[in-house]
Amino acid sequence: MHTLDQLNRGELKGVVRLQLSDNLTTFPEAIFDLADSLEILDLSNNKLSELPADLSRLKKLRILFCSNNRFTHLPKVLGQCESLEMIGFKSNQITTVSSDSLPTLTRWLILTDNKIDSLPEDVGKLVRLQKLALAGNRLTALPDSIANCRKLELLRLSANQLAVFPDILLTLPRLAWLAFSGNPFCAARDPHNDFKTVQFRDLELHQVLGQGASGVISLATWRENIFNFSDSVAVKVFKGDVTSDGFPEDELDACLAVGNHNNLVQPLAKVTEQNCSALVMELIPSHYTNLGKPPSLESCTRDTFALDQRYSMDKIAHIIAQVDQLVAHFCEKKVSHGDLYAHNALINEEGHILFGDFGAASKYANLSANQQHGIERIERRALGFFIDDMLGLCIEEDRGSELYKSLQSHAFY
């Protein structure tokens, strides 16, 4: 994080990335002094509502984040920034997105948690678009031209006002990570009244184990253990607002709808109180570690991995077989995970996989047979990307094996 004083004193000359959060109400003119070097500009968590008309003077700007500000429209000046390819305006008050505001090079567009009721008809001009996050808006339909966004791989449409499932999405050849829960066309949530329920006061939370878009996971012990669960458990306390993937209530519903599986973190009980929604889960043994790391700004939609992370072909085949069986289980339960990524998986020394995080999951049993098959193809495409990622971790001496070649035929590039 940088400061406005540093910027104004000229101490940031030559920086490639600038991050300013200082209750800004106007765009600091001194940012233009960085035009020869600045590629990433993060002005999130301020009070901005406009950008300067000459923003294109930042001729090297590739990435712009302005989340948690006060914009009511996506600034048209963005369309004049010829090098801009990643745009994030999450949690503003945006109602209008015009065609002029969308640079043709856009690969990553984040407009989560705004008040947008429509997209420009020519959104299909964004032929490089790979990631599009629109959860938590007021969209009632998608333009037909989105069919031209043939590189689109990740799409978040949850918590909108879509009356029917957008069949046009089933024509996109690379779409692999789709979330659409919390729309009028979706089935009603199941209250899961037969699933064990506990009171939040029965639990004592300790240190935080992890957190994501939809909630915080903590280690917990019991004050009152009425079901004789293990002494130590994990508790995910859901946030109350819409997340980048959708409503926390839909995550809880989908997680319980898929039931138990050897490769899923086992849910034990739920907490559904007026001011608290939480899920009690088995505590994952400490020898499990993350299989992958989230996508970077450079990789956009694809996971990243440690440079020295390598596995034998036999271990990779074992990993892939488990995830393949898990996807089959999801299809049987008519739940799309929507976020089938290595960074959402944990692995132990023996290669056993545990998946979690149903934030982007969507139930689809109420849709037509054709729509159900299309959604399952999308989920299988995510599996194909996962296979490609795993093969990329194969030790060199196994890359010419028949097993490698066989699995390579199921990978998606």
Annotated binding site for ATP: 236
Count of beta carbons in the 10 Å neighbourhood of residue 79:
18
| Under 8 Å between Cβ of 144 and 123 | no
Report the distance separating Cα 165 and Cα 362, nearest Å: 12
Query: 408 is written with which tokens?
Result: 């390579």
396 burial level (CB within 10 Å; 0-12, 13-18, 19+): exposed
Q: Is the CB of residue 229 less than 8 Å from the CB of residue 280?
A: yes
DSSP 8-state symbol, 133: E
CA gap 355, 137 in Å, rounded: 28
Round to whole Å and give the CA distance between 283 and 390: 26
Distance in angstroms (rounded) separating the CA atoms of residues 375 and 365: 11
Spatial CA neighbour of 354 closest among 266, 256, 254: 266
Q: How far apart are CA 283 and CA 232, in angstroms?
A: 7
Which residues are paired to 65 by β-bridges? 42, 88
Can you tell me the distance from the alpha carbon of 327 to that of 264, in angstroms, rounded to the nearest whole number?
11
- Which residues contribute to the annotated binding site? 236
Residue 249 and residue 240: Cα distance in Å, rounded? 9
Identify the residue whose tokens are 């101490």.
11
Retrieve residue 328's tokens. 């089959």
Q: Is residue 184 within 8 Å of 161, Cβ to Cβ?
A: yes
